[in-house]
Chain A
Amino acid sequence: MLIARNIKKSFGKKRVLDDIDITLENGKITTIIGENGAGKSTIIGIISGFFFQDTGTVQKSTVSVMPDADSLFEDMTGKQFLKYILEIKKVDYKKAVTMAETFGIKKALNKKMCEYSFGMKKRSALFKLI
């Protein structure tokens, strides 16, 4: 369960979020829809801890966020990156390799991530979250 209440956020003089309330339930798919600049990424950034709200509260447990695919550690191979994230998350590497097969990224694990296609980067980013 994630509850955000009365979230306000400005970048400089520009108010991006004004009194936003949001409740996300576990096991449910929730979509945030809005125009460019409506503040969708900002609210996700606040939930993830990338940004700080000016006012309001966020109650959450663990949150997994898939950042932009272009922000992967490009000098690492897929395997190095996977081991790195798993070690921080304290997850078994062998289990992850089995899962990598399902995601279709096992063969690419020995390649540097800067050589990945955009789709492969997206899949890798998603895989590391799960």
Chain B
Amino acid sequence: MIAILKKELLSQFRSKRSIVLLILIILLSLIAGKYSLSLSISQGNSSSGSSPLFTVIFSIYIILMPLISAIMFGGIVAREVKDQSLRYLIPIISRRKILFSKYLAMNIYFIVLFFISTSFILLLRQSYIFPLKLFAISIFIILYLNAITLCCSINLSSERSVFLSGVVLFIFFPGITLWNLIKPNIINKTLNFVLPSTYLDGKASLLIIIVLTIFIIWLSFYNFSKREI
């Protein structure tokens, strides 16, 4: 299991896409840390490190994440099923372990990215209060969004289809928020519970996103265990 986790993480961190993403994240952190001085780092709940600056930065990441997750990990299962390289693993390790390692790698990758970005901003602003609460909420959102990408990668036939589903979600999530702002009704109020931003703002209990994540993961594992490779 650790071998698969290591392989997935190394191949992601070494990829050109990852280097581009890392540069973008560092640039965004640099701009936020150095030039957005109107956003305070010290306001809000100083003990948990929450601040307007980090709320804005994390919101941007959460909006972009469905797209980034689909770009980075869209092929994590779909590609290996398509080129049949998964056939080297199936006889020697259980499907459950394969999928769990891959899902873990996806989450570690994004947690590291968020951590790098946060640390970078703190260093630039010479502030040493880590936004612990916001970071913890973001981890739940990362788990949720990566579960969606993993589920798409299992159920869709190609990496391109997973990427397209990422684009759809990238448009769908802010679209629902906008719809809710313009014309609130029971449908978009219910749909609010699937939006990651709802949890980042603390408008809904984290328990809902945990239940949603568990359900998507269960669905992914179930479908993968039934999938013919």
Contacts and interface: CB of A to CB of B under 8 A. Distances in A.
A73 B88 contact: yes
A29 interface: no
A94 interface: no
Given A49-B90, A50-B228, A50-B229, A71 B4 contact: no
B4 A88 contact: yes
A130 interface: no
A86 to B, nearest CB: 8
B204 interface: no
A108 to B, nearest CB: 18
Contact of B84 (A63, A71, A76, A87): A71
A4 to B, nearest CB: 15
A84 interface: yes
A128 B88 contact: yes
Given A48-B87, A63-B91, A75-B11, A88 B3 contact: yes
A68 B92 CA distance: 16
Contacts, number: 57
Interface string A32-74: 0000000000000100111110000000001111011011111
Contact of B88 (A51, A62, A85): A85
A67 B7 contact: no
Contacts of B88: 67, 71-73, 85, 125, 128
Contacts of B91: 48-49, 62-65
Interface string B182-217: 000000000000000000000000000000000000
B20 interface: no
A52 B226 contact: yes
B85 interface: yes
B2 interface: yes
Given A87-B2, A87-B3, A50 B90 contact: yes
A99 to B, nearest CB: 17
A90 to B, nearest CB: 9
A73 B2 CA distance: 18
A28 interface: no
B88 to A, nearest CB: 6
Given A67-B87, A84-B7, 15 more contacts: A48-B91, A49-B91, A51-B228, A52-B226, A52-B228, A62-B91, A67-B84, A67-B88, A70-B83, A72-B85, A74-B83, A76-B11, A80-B7, A88-B3, A88-B4
